[in-house]
Structure formats: structure tokens, C-alpha cells
Amino acid sequence: MGIERNYSPKYFRERAEEFRAKAANCEHNQTKETLRRVAESYDDLARRAERVRTVKDEAD
């Protein structure tokens, strides 16, 4: 694990929403799909950050 330790799940969810908004405003289908995949990646990071925090909380 890496970057998900440095940021909160909220941070990653906000980035995901930003990229979804950009995709919604994009005219080019290929670019729109790429932006959606980036948003999905941020969602994955948010889930991983939640797991990191859960494990850390259980260890404390």
C-alpha cells in the first residue's frame, strides 16, 4: 500500500467526483471514457484508504 495511507477516503472520493464532472462535460467519447476510468481508480483508492484506516484503528 502506498498513497492511500497519506490521504483520507474523502479526498479520493472528491477527486473521483471531479473527474466524473469533467467526463460529463466532455464531448469526445474516448476522453470521456478515460476520465471515467480515472474516477473509478480514485474510488478504488478511497476503498483502500478505508481499509488502511480500519486496520490502523483496530491495531490501536
- CA atoms of 25 and 14, how far apart (whole Å): 17
What's the pLDDT at 26? 96
CB of 15 within 8 A of CB of 42?
yes
Q: Among candidates 22, 21, 10, 2, which has minimal Cα distance to 47? A: 10
Average pLDDT rounded to a whole number, residues 4-29? 95
- Classify residue 7 as left (phi > 0), alpha (psi -120 to 50) or beta: beta
- In the chain, what are the domain boundaries? 13-59
CA end-to-end span of the chain: 19
Q: For all residues of the chain together, what is the average pLDDT?
A: 89
Query: Is the confidence at residue 50, as pLDDT, over 80?
Result: yes
Measure Cα distances from 44 to 12, 27, 51 in Å: 9, 26, 11
